[in-house]
Structure 1
């Protein structure tokens, strides 16, 4: 009887599905990084496009794999602080999914921060992307924006990267 009770409890525990929480809105409090910039500053303005894949096709166009995606925002200067003005996420059709921030934030020299899009968040689809707007001091290297996409199933793993392109 005790063995049957134990088997019953084990079956209940393993049959319960754990629901994944969608945490694609990065828990980092962007407002802690907020900074006020003067309109007439001498900073150089730039805009970058980064492709991100929250899903990829497998076998046919009707089968997709979900991916965890990370947009890495890096200050490549070892002496200057840079400023990110906006980070906006778009779906495959070019529709804005969400803005992570649309006010200036700073990145200290050599600092990196990330936006993580959970595997369960497929709102971007197979052709999602980011637009980043930024300002840097004169003679400062441009920020680096990279995408890292990963997925693991069983003993197989998949990962690849993308790099942003300056568009303005």
Structure 2
């Protein structure tokens, strides 16, 4: 009887471990609700920024890819003024929307950085993934800065590189 219990337990653990776990992580598991804010009624400057992000890169040939972890940083480079994000959309290589990270306006305090982490096992973005960030600032305030750092390690080998956002509107 004990053999069957152990066999059943072992098989269930094996099959559970083999199932692919989809996990879309973000630093401090997406507490966007705590950052929600009602925009001030002042006239605000509106803009959009494009950021390329690689969840995979080609390795050896166009038929072999290497998965990467991406850390997307959204930075307020102002010492005294808050900036507001009205959208953060993630797209795949073909331009299809994958996910939107928050539905309400959020704030980034002066000199603060908030981050989105694209898990190494999240391959949805592919080799040409990208973000569009929509934001607002008070007139005369520096726009937010967006950058991504992609990294992967395997054994003693490491690979990392970074991209910076480009204002498109």
Matches within 5 A, 1:112-131: 112-131=113-132
Q: After TM superposition, give the deviation of residue 68 of structure 1 in Å.
A: 0.2
Matches within 5 A, 1:135-150: 135-150=136-151
Consecutive unaligned residues of structure 2, counting only runs of 5 or more, are 1-9
- TM-score computed with the length of structure 2 as normaliser: 0.85
Superposition RMSD on alpha carbons, in Å? Answer: 1.7
Which residue number in structure 2 is paired with residue 6 of structure 1?
none
Matches within 5 A, 1:26-65: 26=26, 27-37=29-39, 41-65=42-66
In structure 2, C-alpha distance between the alignment counterparts of 1:160 and 1:93, rounded to whole Å: 22
Q: After TM superposition, give the deviation of residue 21 of structure 1 in Å.
A: 4.2
State the SS of the aligned residue for 2:54. Answer: coil
Which residue number in structure 1 is paired with residue 5 of structure 2?
none
In structure 2, C-alpha distance between the alignment counterparts of 1:80 and 1:18, rounded to whole Å: 48
Decide whether aligned partners of structure 1 residues 92 and 82 sit closer, same or farther in structure 2, where only a CA change above 3 A counts: same
In structure 2, C-alpha distance between the alignment counterparts of 1:111 and 1:102, rounded to whole Å: 20
Deviations 1:61-113 (A, max 9, x none): 00100000111000000000110000010000000000001321001000000
Structure 1 stretches of at least 4 aligned residues deviating more than 4 Å after TM superposition: 16-21
**Contact 1:69–1:118 (CA<8 Å) still a contact in 2?**
yes
Which residue number in structure 2 is paired with residue 3 of structure 1?
none
